[in-house]
Chains A and B, each alone.
Chain A
Amino acid sequence: MKLIEALELLKRSAGHGQTRLFRLACGFTPLHLLTFFRAHLQLSLPNDRIDVTAGLYGDLPGNLERSLSERERGVAVVIENADLDSRLGIRQLGGWEPGKLVDIISGTINSLRRLEEPLVRLGESCSVAVSLPTLPVLPIDFPAGWQSGAFELELRQLIGEFGSCISRIPGVRVLNQQRIDLLSPLLARFDAKSELLTGFPYRLEHADVLANMLGATLVARTPKKGVITDLDDTCWRGVLGEVGLEGISWDLATKAQLHGIYQQFLQALAARGVLVAVASRNDPVLVEQAFKLPGMCLSPDSVFPVAAGWGRKSDSVASILRSWNISADAVVYIDDSPLELAEVKAAHPQIECILFPRQDPAGLFELLERLRDLFGKERLSQEDTIRSHTLRANTVFDMKGPEISPTYEQLLRDAGAKIHFRVIRSGRDERAFELVNKTNQFNLNGKRYDEAQWRAYFHHDGAILLTASYEDRFGPLGEIAVVRACRLAERILRIDDWVMSCRAFSRRVEYQCLQYLFHRFDANTVVLDAIETNRNGPLWEFLEELGVKRPELCLSRQQFKSRCPVLYHAVTASADE
């Protein structure tokens, strides 16, 4: 983005929507970084009015402290070498003699310590993005420039350790230095003239890169959930139907390593909980055999379902989406054929279609970087590691129609289902926050929250978070339901948010949630803040089954009891008071 584009964007967007308050905390004059930061946030949140405050010049720790007393949605912290010790900048003349370098290291250690504590406290109340120093270290070490001196190495080590330490603080995210290096060449970052004249040390291009990454880090983007891949000339080199099992390859010896790297990446994605499926024009028996070939990096256990056949790719994709029970906009489709990509895109416009770069190593790494961005997650949960397994098990429960049939009832009774409820008054549960922000179908009202909004809810007296974890003889599903509620009156409970993963459908978990809430809070009535969205049909079907009427949206304990089917779960509970 150019500076003029950023300013024009902000001019056009001024005054629309709700105000979102952010802070840019740095020790230098924020100047154009502030403009770019606002503009990138505005692009990410087009319906809102973005307001960014900055702090005082030369006082990064103070600016962080001041952030603690505000109610910002997010804080971008930009650290530069001069914030660690003013002698690492050019606006103060403190001396660079070799004897002073040790003192600069001591100053740096102290400065980093002073930054850590407010970051911990900030992370508790809002999202924090931290940019570690990006400007070149001034040539003050005594070895020649082609050699690293102990001073420079120690400085980098201190900054690296600090970054590693703060990246573990909940709510704090550190910008990826390697991505900054890729997008902004080191020589094109520092603007000495601007630094001397105005106290702003960055060239415009570098400010734009940093602002873009800070914005992307602060404004949570929903990661994609699934990848559907082609096989021939994608997962392996060769057309299986033509060359047979002996003819396909994916290793260095056969100059087909790109395909092996791609397989390895898909396998890693699957292990992180990304759904991986195959849509291939192939003989299903041959495909099954191919997946059993020695050395295959993508395990057949990680791929579900495999849609191999001779029909249209778009039909295979449609059937995979049904199996996964997720919407097309959460999915990426990868194929080496532009024609197949176009056919899938035409049928499923919301799917992100990506061409596999055959015989193009550089292109493959661009693809991997892109996939990393699309599927990137803050943290991995236990649920991520069991997702694929759960999907397979779900085919057993996928008997929606005959739910009232004796067979289905027997299945539920014999499933050995266990539900564990947790009441969490602090609201601190990353999985719950994630689930509320990504669930569409069984979702009370479709509301999404940023971290600050989520945490603010639990400042109210009587507000609670209820989570439900489920397992049965087919395996664990992990934490699959979340309720946020508060007591309206002595025996009246209001449910403000309620989501349940589609993986837990057809198991009567939703009934058990209500039963538990009535019992645990000794409530006579539950009021539901239900809002119809384009996608929460399953939630409304459930409310209709219970006889919940609009506009009251109330459910009495008596009414619930009269309509609740038999529940077979063994229930346990705990409370984090």
Chain B
Amino acid sequence: MNDLYKRLVRCFAAAFPDVDEEALPTLQASGTETWDSVAIATVFALVQEEFGIEIDMPEKVEDLESFNGVYQYIASRLRQ
């Protein structure tokens, strides 16, 4: 498990306190009741705070509707 992954799990655990930690890496907007506009804004703020990355909005929002999507986005931004 890499560092980015662990740090992102921590962010998601904070933004989705009612979701089991094991389930976080497979979390998706569809089917997650608490994945609402407040949760999205919280995840984005946490990512900015943790990784220093401002997520471009709204162009990329469709790609960011799952844990994996956010992970891929951060990984690509960190490679730039």
Query: Can you show 24 pairs from A to B with CB atoms below 8 A apart?
Result: A3-B14, A3-B42, A3-B45, A3-B46, A7-B14, A7-B15, A7-B46, A8-B13, A8-B14, A11-B13, A11-B14, A31-B38, A31-B41, A31-B42, A32-B41, A32-B42, A32-B45, A35-B42, A193-B54, A197-B41, A197-B57, A197-B58, A198-B41, A204-B49
Separation in Å of the B39 CB from the closest CB of chain A?
11
Chain B residues with a Cβ under 8 A of chain A: 10-11, 13-15, 17, 37-38, 41-42, 45-46, 48-50, 54, 57-58
Q: In the complex the two chains form, what is the Cα distance from A198 to B42 in whole Å?
A: 11
Separation in Å of the A406 CB from the closest CB of chain B?
71
Q: Contacts A11-B14, A14-B17; is A3 near B49 (CB within 8 Å)? A: yes
Q: Contact mask A521-534 → B, CB, 8 Å, 1/0?
A: 00000000000000
Chain B residues with CB under 8 Å of A200's CB are 41
Q: In the complex the two chains form, what is the Cα distance from A301 to B2 in whole Å?
A: 67
The reply to whether A4 and B41 form a contact with Cβ atoms under 8 Å apart is: no
Given contacts A4-B14, A194-B41, A197-B57, 5 further A-B contacts (CB under 8 A): A4-B49, A11-B14, A31-B41, A193-B54, A204-B45
The reply to whether A4 and B54 form a contact with Cβ atoms under 8 Å apart is: no
Residue A10 lies at the interface, judged by CB distance under 8 Å to chain B: yes
Q: Contact mask A335-369 → B, CB, 8 Å, 1/0?
A: 00000000000000000000000000000000000
Separation in Å of the A10 CB from the closest CB of chain B?
7
Chain B residues with CB under 8 Å of A193's CB are 54, 57
Chain A residues with CB under 8 Å of B50's CB are 4
Closest A residue to B7 by CB, please name it.
Answer: A4
Q: Which of A1-55 contact B (CB under 8 A)?
A: 2-4, 7-8, 10-11, 14, 31-32, 35
Closest B residue to A205 by CB, please name it.
Answer: B49
The reply to whether B11 and A10 form a contact with Cβ atoms under 8 Å apart is: no
Count of A-B residue pairs with CB < 8 Å: 43
Considering residues A3, A197, A200, which has the most beta carbons from chain B within 10 angstroms of its beta carbon? A3
Q: Contact mask A187-200 → B, CB, 8 Å, 1/0?
A: 00000011001101
Q: In the complex the two chains form, what is the Cα distance from A3 to B48 in whole Å?
A: 10
Q: In the complex the two chains form, what is the Cα distance from A32 to B58 in whole Å?
A: 20
Separation in Å of the B33 CB from the closest CB of chain A?
18
The reply to whether B46 and A4 form a contact with Cβ atoms under 8 Å apart is: yes
Separation in Å of the A42 CB from the closest CB of chain B?
14
Q: In the complex the two chains form, what is the Cα distance from A525 to B44 in whole Å?
A: 65
Chain A residues with a Cβ under 8 A of chain B: 2-4, 7-8, 10-11, 14, 31-32, 35, 193-194, 197-198, 200, 204
The binding surface of chain A is classed by DSSP as helix
Chain A residues with CB under 8 Å of B57's CB are 193, 197
Chain A residues with CB under 8 Å of B15's CB are 7
Q: Contacts A31-B41, A32-B42, A200-B41; is A10 near B17 (CB within 8 Å)? A: yes
Chain B residues with CB under 8 Å of A14's CB are 17
Chain B residues with CB under 8 Å of A31's CB are 38, 41-42
Closest A residue to B50 by CB, please name it.
Answer: A4
Q: In the complex the two chains form, what is the Cα distance from A2 to B7 in whole Å?
A: 14
Q: In the complex the two chains form, what is the Cα distance from A10 to B49 in whole Å?
A: 18
Chain A residues with CB under 8 Å of B41's CB are 31-32, 194, 197-198, 200
Closest A residue to B38 by CB, please name it.
Answer: A31
Q: In the complex the two chains form, what is the Cα distance from A429 to B16 in whole Å?
A: 46
Report, nearest first, the 5 A-B pairs whose CB atoms are least far apart: A7-B14, A11-B17, A4-B14, A198-B41, A3-B49
Q: In the complex the two chains form, what is the Cα distance from A210 to B38 in whole Å?
A: 20
Separation in Å of the A172 CB from the closest CB of chain B?
30
Q: In the complex the two chains form, what is the Cα distance from A35 to B43 in whole Å?
A: 13
The reply to whether A4 and B11 form a contact with Cβ atoms under 8 Å apart is: yes
Closest B residue to A5 by CB, please name it.
Answer: B14
The reply to whether A4 and B10 form a contact with Cβ atoms under 8 Å apart is: yes
Separation in Å of the B13 CB from the closest CB of chain A?
8
Chain B residues with CB under 8 Å of A7's CB are 14-15, 17, 42, 46
Closest A residue to B37 by CB, please name it.
Answer: A198
Q: In the complex the two chains form, what is the Cα distance from A198 to B14 in whole Å?
A: 20
Chain B residues with CB under 8 Å of A194's CB are 41
Q: In the complex the two chains form, what is the Cα distance from A10 to B14 in whole Å?
A: 9
Separation in Å of the A189 CB from the closest CB of chain B?
15
Chain A residues with CB under 8 Å of B45's CB are 3, 32, 204
Closest B residue to A2 by CB, please name it.
Answer: B49
Chain A residues with CB under 8 Å of B38's CB are 31
Separation in Å of the B18 CB from the closest CB of chain A?
9
Closest B residue to A12 by CB, please name it.
Answer: B17
Separation in Å of the A67 CB from the closest CB of chain B?
21
Q: In the complex the two chains form, what is the Cα distance from A11 to B11 in whole Å?
A: 13
